[in-house]
Amino acid sequence: MTALAWLIPAALFLGLIGLAGFLWALKSGQFEDLDGAAYRILEDDDESTSNDKR
């Protein structure tokens, strides 16, 4: 029973931290452009950032 007295508040606290992180991500625009990364991988860059000398 003592374990529940520690685990329930700990679970609620961690849940609130997760919710706060999610709301911060929404507010800062992390989910605005979901398709951008999918299309960026298909674009051909002439400027290579790798130093391959093949």
Query: According to the model, what pLDDT value does residue 22 have?
Result: 96
Give residue-wise pLDDT tens across range 1-54: 899 999 999 999 999 999 999 999 999 988 888 888 788 888 887 665 656 555
Q: Please tell me the pTM assigned to this model.
A: 0.60
Torsion on CA atoms 4, 8, 9, 15, rounded to nearest 10: 160
For residues 29 and 54, what is the distance between their CA atoms, to the nearest angstrom? 40
